[in-house]
Structure 1
């Protein structure tokens, strides 16, 4: 199978954000995406808004950027679409929020979006797809060649725990504390083509693997390979998919800055003739588990001897290492915002801070929804509404 890679001329940036639609009165997920998208699509070709899309369930609207050069440009792009979706949601008595999972809504109650590919997915995957009441943020960074995309994706796998720990926002599942920082990461791994990326040596090997998956009817298209990191041939990017939903645009921008800096740094090393690192599968699996379980309190493995280091410290070290690249890319302020996440706490920590000890169910976890809605509306982490 020959797969064309639409190479990007530089380290372009694209961001996808899966928004939850929640009822203002109950805080429950609301199946209103088709209604909102129909309104927003009016006047656009084929009645479809170019930057607001369906996802698997009707309780989700995905907003996407165009091809951007800087993080600031991407943020402004997201803000414009977010404002449109927010206005349409408000007129229906709905609020917006973004987190890895909803704290208490049930996946049993969610309606599948009216798209044949989603119907096919649910038919094939059954319970594994029906329970995908999860929400994420994906970051694309442009790459010049398919060979680079493979090498950079392999190297970027080592940063899965860093990005997952920073964005972990799904401690609750169907009304109960899971004990995890990111339950989303474990739910998503239930799909056979999701989770850690397959270790590949070259673009021809990627093409062969995709051909095998298609010919064996494991997938219909390359789009159905949902690895935490994957080459995206159509966009000419490396796509990072490990992040939970992120509650504020400021935090989304911070994570996008770190991602763009890391990918561009590896791209530069590749151009200079360096062999990019590859990682042992057992180390990747263990480190992802630790980040999903403990979040920013995780101790991750940093070498094959089993040496451990606090993920907080490795993130601070990364920020220092990426500072020159951030200056080059014009995202110094956004990268610096990563440290605020370490200080303010990641979303899973902020969510638990507003819940009474032992609380569960819709009543006990309603403060989490109020927090997440307020954070999205104010673009400030930890800001609670003065009253409901």
Structure 2
């Protein structure tokens, strides 16, 4: 059997990956520039772990934290890297923004980054990969033992609609309003190894599953399984990949606080001998769809009988439930910001409001996203 070593992490350590769009300040189109920017800020031969790197398309720069202990530390780490990337982008007539999709740029116009693994991805997936003009935020939370990872992954699936509704920021696709809060989530899950995770009982079952995929030639390495929530054995984390691209650091802090608190809470419950809940697969799938379609206006299924409640209420209750854990982890301020998102509106709502105020002009939406990246989220 394939052995997949899990490198234990300090409990509740934190890492965040933030995929940023490069847009031309005149046309507001997504524009290549990542290769030159990264050559400038990360010269060849730099042995340190990169704080910024290429993604599939050359109009994307991904900024990455180091290993952090608190949400505040992670926010400061991201902010420092973003300042460096923004300065390099500005020299080239580019600005930074983040949302799950660009409001109007056609994916056919984008250049693939010059990396063999990206070329191979496009060769293998064809149209599915070429249209991956999408952007997300990934949150890693440290776990001390492989025995805990799969129970935590399974339990976290209950909260997929919470994360997706709060972060939903992709209502537009190549100039059209899709009618969805998160078009990105539907585009990404079209890949054969992306989307909702399978509920595997333990690490042994995870290794068997991965061995089967490798033996069948479905994947070459386990890094090609892009679940919405997945174990990351090298980092020793649970990685939450469900979120759309998030425009502001404050909003990133809010979703990171929920993620860190939930994993910490589940970890402690396992220490006490509790069995973590694993929601039914049909409920997880239905709730992801509802969050992708309706965002914060979704009613989500909360039990096997089909009982529903507004996701807004579920999110508010979750904030209250997690507050004692947030105090231990020093992220009360960030967790409380979740309530401000509920008041101001998620990004998909703000984008539509801007478009409506400007007679459907989506360049105004780009300008608003660039402004939020620079200045943060305005109060209601």
SS of alignment partner, residue 355 of structure 2: coil
Aligned partner (choices 370, 373, 377) of residue 373 of structure 1? 370
CA distance in 1 between counterparts of 2:339 and 2:367 reads: 25
Partners of 1:221 and 1:127 in 2: how far apart?
22
Please give the alpha-carbon distance, in whole angstroms, between the structure 2 residues aligned to 1:270 and 1:34: 44
Mapping of residues 177-326 of structure 1, within 5 Å: 177-326=177-326
For residue 9 of structure 1, report the CA deviation from its aligned partner.
2.3
| TM-superposition CA deviations, 1:360-385 (whole Å, max 9, x none) | 6xxx21111000000001122479xx
What residue ranges of structure 2 are gaps of 5+ in the alignment?
none
Q: 1:227 and 1:9 mapped to 2: Cα distance?
A: 23
Shift of 1:281: 0.9
Partner of 2:90: 90
| SS of structure 1 residue aligned to 2:260 | helix
- Residue 344 of structure 1 corresponds to 344
| Count of aligned pairs | 379
- 1:70-112 residue CA offsets vs partner (Å, 9 max, x unmatched): 0011011001100000000011110000100000001101100
Alpha carbons of structure 1 residues 318 and 97: separation in structure 2 relative to 1, 3 Å:
same
CA distance, structure 1, for counterparts of residue 85 and residue 156 of structure 2:
32
> Which secondary structure state, in structure 1, belongs to the residue aligned with residue 170 of structure 2?
coil
Superposition misfits of 4+ residues, deviation over 6 angstroms: none
Per the alignment, residue 386 of structure 1 pairs with none
> Is this contact kept in 2: 1:248–1:381, CA < 8 A?
no
Q: For 2:170 and 2:128, locate their aligned partners in 1 and report how far apart those are by CA, in whole Å.
A: 18
Give the drift of 1:277.
0.5
RMSD: 1.4
- The answer (yes or no) to whether the contact 1:261–1:326 under 8 Å persists in 2 is yes
In the alignment, structure 1 segments of 5+ residues that lack a partner are: 384-388
| Cα separation, 2, equivalents of 1:147 and 1:102 | 40
Is 1:350–1:382's contact at 8 Å kept on the other side of the alignment?
A: no
Corresponding position of 1:143: 143
1:42-76 CA-partner distances (Å, limit 9, x unpaired): 27526x87110000000000000000000011011
Q: Is the 8 A contact 1:371 1:382 kept in 2?
A: no
- Normalization by structure 2: what TM-score? 0.98
For the 8 Å contact 2:358–2:364, the answer to whether it is kept is no
Q: TM-score, normalised by structure 1?
A: 0.96
Partner of 1:15: 16
Q: Name 1:169's counterpart in structure 2.
A: 169
- DSSP-derived class of the 2:356 partner: coil
1:37 aligns with 2:38: yes
How far 1:243 moved relative to its partner? 0.0
Query: Equivalent residues in 2 for 1:54-73 (5 A)?
Result: 54-73=54-73
